[in-house]
Structure 1
Amino acid sequence: MGEVRKLQKKLRQIENLELKVSLTPEEAVKVSKKEELRRRLAELLLQLSGPQQTQCIVGEEEDKMKRQIDIRAEHHPNSTPAAKLPREDRQKKEDKSESRTEEDIKEKEGGEQSQKLPDPDAEFTSFKASWEKAKFRLRTLKGHSDIITCVAAVDNLVISGSRDTTVKVWHVPTATEQRNLGGHSGGVTCISTPPAEHCRKLASALHLSEKERFIISGSTDCCVRIWTLTSGQCVKSIYTFNAVTSLCFIAEWEGYIVTGSDAGKLQVWDWLSQENRQSVNAHLDAVTTLQSQGPLVFSGSTDGSVCVWVVCDRAADPLNQLHQWGSEVTGCSRVDEVNGSLRLSARGDHVFLANGRSSIRVLNWRTGTMRRLTNHSSTAGVTDCVNQIPGVLIGSCSDLASGDNTLNLFSLPQCRYLVSLTSSDVPRILCFAWWLTPSGGHRWVTGGCELTVWEQLPGNVKKRGDVNARRDSRLDGLLAESDGDSQEESEDDDEDEDSTANDAPDAEEVSGSSWLRCVLQ
């Protein structure tokens, strides 16, 4: 296992190096060894998992094996024949069987009635079957010259922000670039699209059409900009004095913009006046994820902590902290040094966390209970982002050994594994957004090295999709109770600490090549 952990660490470093704008000669040499390291890691993982391979057989092959086992048991040549009973014993047995006839009939009737009861798993089985048949067409939107860090969707439009300092608006049906919003002097790290009702209020204040929609973008240039969607004009610019690493819109009362900085500060801005309403030092390191859910706001940081806030209108300080859980509870320590930024997606009392590990952390933010949801069949997987669509949790997964990139789907609220969607054309996925078409089909957009639109094809279309739906039975396990890192991940951290202590250049590389620091460069 020691060599496996070392190879995984090196491949994580290389994956992060490939996201940089330019490489030094030493870094280029390390990247050139990527395929060799992948092959070696794949060989080791295969050797270690050899005895358990039969557990991963799914579908028809598994049923076939079960039938073969049953047949062999029935026709085994060494099976013991039934012993003959004396006549008196046979008579007693017949009398006893007659006395039980009425009871057997009742039991049989009861069994038939119980069989008619609805199967509690029937709904899940049907839901799973529908996703197993799902077909998607992929289209790449080309125009950005650097990593896509954030995406959003409005009607038939996709909005993307990139480290190349631009925000672009794309028309999905024609796969064309509609607007190029240039104005930031630093990489764009986050975007948000306020609801139509709040857009109407701002449009009225600016004397624009009531149908106008707006885009909010944050950047490492310390600015938050508000753009019109129709013309691409920047109508407001807010200087925050700190590099903006995340933001969200609160659709309560008159509306607020909440921004997170590279130093851990949260700031609240009035939507209509753009005045600063509050500044609070919430985290010890960069705030890499923000999400609003009604009057609640969830923030996560590279220090591994998660905070929950409630918004109070017309208060001196709109944000009031309800809970704060540190890395010792979330199990997301050292994300800034090894695996990049922390991402979250909230649902009710639970927050789903992705921090570059092979599992998704599920935190009950009221009680501080943390569980793990397996998102990869081994520790060689990297989870960069987590999101939700109606009834489904989606986690991205990048396989360090093979280079494959997938989206794993889990049913909500049970968090039961549904299916994995994969394609050889999909690069590493760092951000995700979704919306539904008028016919009810799914449209997704993923960003990273490329901007890709996933469009679900109708079920009656015979055309083969660009995405393969497959199942990995190793992900079928339910949520695992956990008080921290899994054994493998803890060992991996220990290995990282040992390597860091013994190898100063590697330590500098790990610290300087995380996904967040790549974004900030």
Structure 2
Amino acid sequence: MGEVRKLQKKLRQIANLELKVSLTAEEQIKVLKKEELRIRLAELLLQLSGPQQPHCIVGEEDKMKRQIEDETKNHTEHSPAVKIAREDQQQKKKKKDKGLEKEQQKEGGEQTPEPPDPESEFKTLKGLWEKSKFRLRPLEGHSDIITCVASVDNLVISGSRDTTLKVWHVPTATEQRNLGGHRGGVTCLIAPPAEYCRKLASALHVGEKERFVLSGSSDCCVRIWALSSGQCVKSIYTFNAISSICFIAEWEGYIVTGSDAGKLQVWDCRSLENHQSVNAHLDAITTLQSQGPLVFSGSADGGVCVWEVCDGAAEPLRRLHQWGPEVTGCSGVNNAAGGLRLSACGDQVFLASGRSSIRVLNWRTGRVSRLTNHSSTAGVTDCVNQTPGVLIGSSFDLTTGESTLNLFSLPQSRYLVSLSSSDLPRILCFAAWHTPSGGHRWVTGGRNLTVWEQLPDNFKKRGDVTVRRDRRLENSLAESDQDSEEDSDDVADDDDEDEDSSPRDTSDAEDVSGSSWQRCVLQ
């Protein structure tokens, strides 16, 4: 194995060590070597990538394209053959148009609307995101890693390893409440829809307009918090350290929890009684998501299960499909966020497992594709999320320490743009929603908590976020290669080896062949 990949592995290990609560003396020494390893890796990448291509400004690129088109037109417009071909095409088009007009007249003049053009829709969406501007607002108050985030109207709720939840008022970027009560780190939280909050309020005998947030913790408790007062109105002891939670907005509503031992439990929304307990996975259930009458669960072992909600049955969840890590390609998950993360859309489940690509699983057939989320294997994907029509994947560059959000159109999974900002820390959790005016508002968590607020189109000042296009991510959806190089990075190296003494082989050149990709900065 070449020196480049060894350095990438070491940087990956260091990046995960930096998120630990405490470090041993040996681990602290490893962390201190981070900058030295990055410099060495950058030198190797520069040597192996060859001559660098210049940066490309979008405006200049369009100008060059127009010049080329004009020159091509000048060369061909005087050609007799071209003229004849054009005349033939024009005549055929006229005949076709006349035929359509006659058919419309026969049908009483009614015209069938043309179906939307997917390519045109994609170009429009891409153009909107290329022009987007965001303002970033830090929310400071947690003393440890932020593990989960959620939103309710103008409020952001964050859960942290410091055992607390905090409620933030987004318009003023201020802390509104500090919710303390868990005796272990907060691992997950959800905010039920308003209509189910009314049912929950009735069961808990509080005001019908109350909004709630539910939190899970390693202390084996689910706590239900009233946002208006900040009080814990109910606590459910599950006998298992909770690693994930979701809400099923079907029928009367169910709360689903996943444990660090792989147990899945279902709780009635009104009575809060346990209706089902099943050993769903062999390892911790690190992600849960409901989509209509379906529930998706993912495990630290890389496996995924799909469940159907059966209202009125003795056990509300029935397993439809189960796909192991040998199918998903997510074995040996090394995600610093705690394990596998998923986001479902129709038949597709997007999986983030700490690698440079996002796995795309068709949960009906078991077919898996790879969606490139980084321009080299030195990237890390910790979380995936969605807004209507857009998939958002986090990307952390081990070589530079840069964090980025990559946007893809749905359901085509076509690359749109990349959003980044200087000094943006590694993103471990993400939530997205729309403002009343239709703008995007996001919150990202990790070492820091940050609110992303989309600015209006007529906003004259420059935003805090750089919008660019990475050409290496275009046409990035490919069939999954189970033996790809990033999959083999799970094997640990001996950290005591001298990096400079490792022989270089031709695989290094393949690893970094894309290091000279063009980056188009949108201005």
The TM-score with structure 1 as length reference comes to 0.85
Q: Displacement, 1:202?
A: 1.6
- Corresponding residue for 1:229? 227
Q: Displacement, 1:322?
A: 0.2
2:332 counterpart (331, 334, 337):
334
2:485 counterpart (482, 488, 496):
488
- Corresponding residue for 2:161? 163
Q: Are the aligned partners of 2:19 and 2:336 in contact in 1 as well (CA < 8 Å)?
A: no
Q: Are the aligned partners of 1:340 and 1:355 in contact in 2 as well (CA < 8 Å)?
A: no
Q: Are the aligned partners of 1:246 and 1:289 in contact in 2 as well (CA < 8 Å)?
A: yes
Q: Are the aligned partners of 1:339 and 1:355 in contact in 2 as well (CA < 8 Å)?
A: no
Cα shift readout 1:473-500 (whole Å, capped 9, x = no counterpart): 1100241012525x2213423xx25659
Separation in structure 1 between the aligned mates of residue 334 and residue 25 of structure 2, nearest angstrom: 24
- Corresponding residue for 2:519? none
Gaps of 5+ in 2: 75-79, 98-113, 499-523
Say if 1:50 and 1:243 are closer, same or farther in 2 by CA, change over 3 A: same
Separation in structure 2 between the aligned mates of residue 335 and residue 114 of structure 1, nearest angstrom: 57
Gaps of 5+ in 1: 76-93, 504-521
The TM-score with structure 2 as length reference comes to 0.85
> Superposition pairs for residues 41-80 of structure 1, below 5 Å?
41-50=41-50, 53=53, 57=56, 59-60=58-59, 62=61
> Superposition pairs for residues 342-381 of structure 1, below 5 Å?
342-381=340-379
Cα shift readout 1:425-448 (whole Å, capped 9, x = no counterpart): 311000000111111111100000
Q: Which moved more, 1:5-14 or 1:66-75?
A: 66-75
Q: Are the aligned partners of 2:147 and 2:161 in contact in 1 as well (CA < 8 Å)?
A: yes
Q: Are the aligned partners of 1:57 and 1:473 in contact in 2 as well (CA < 8 Å)?
A: no
2:274 counterpart (267, 273, 276):
276
- Corresponding residue for 1:476? 474
Separation in structure 2 between the aligned mates of residue 326 and residue 301 of structure 1, nearest angstrom: 10
Give the count of matched residue pairs. Answer: 478
1:325 counterpart (323, 326, 329):
323
Q: Displacement, 1:59?
A: 3.0
Q: Which moved more, 1:388-397 or 1:313-322?
A: 313-322
Q: Are the aligned partners of 1:58 and 1:472 in contact in 2 as well (CA < 8 Å)?
A: no
Q: Are the aligned partners of 2:335 and 2:353 in contact in 1 as well (CA < 8 Å)?
A: no
Say if 1:298 and 1:74 are closer, same or farther in 2 by CA, change over 3 A: closer
| Corresponding letter in the other structure for 2:407 | L
1:244 counterpart (242, 245, 258):
242
Q: Are the aligned partners of 1:291 and 1:299 in contact in 2 as well (CA < 8 Å)?
A: yes
Say if 1:215 and 1:73 are closer, same or farther in 2 by CA, change over 3 A: closer
Separation in structure 2 between the aligned mates of residue 337 and residue 438 of structure 1, nearest angstrom: 34
SS in 1 for 2:355: coil
- Corresponding residue for 1:311? 309
SS in 1 for 2:50: helix
| Corresponding letter in the other structure for 1:402 | T
Cα shift readout 1:119-146 (whole Å, capped 9, x = no counterpart): 7522211211110111100000111000
Q: Displacement, 1:381?
A: 0.5
> Superposition pairs for residues 93-492 of structure 1, below 5 Å?
105-110=87-92, 121-336=119-334, 340-485=338-483, 487-492=484-489
Separation in structure 2 between the aligned mates of residue 213 and residue 251 of structure 1, nearest angstrom: 15
Cα shift readout 1:377-418 (whole Å, capped 9, x = no counterpart): 000100000000011000000000011100000011111110
Separation in structure 2 between the aligned mates of residue 498 and residue 101 of structure 1, nearest angstrom: 66
Q: Are the aligned partners of 1:329 and 1:483 in contact in 2 as well (CA < 8 Å)?
A: no
Q: Are the aligned partners of 1:12 and 1:339 in contact in 2 as well (CA < 8 Å)?
A: no
- Corresponding residue for 1:515? none
SS in 2 for 1:488: coil
Say if 1:197 and 1:311 are closer, same or farther in 2 by CA, change over 3 A: same
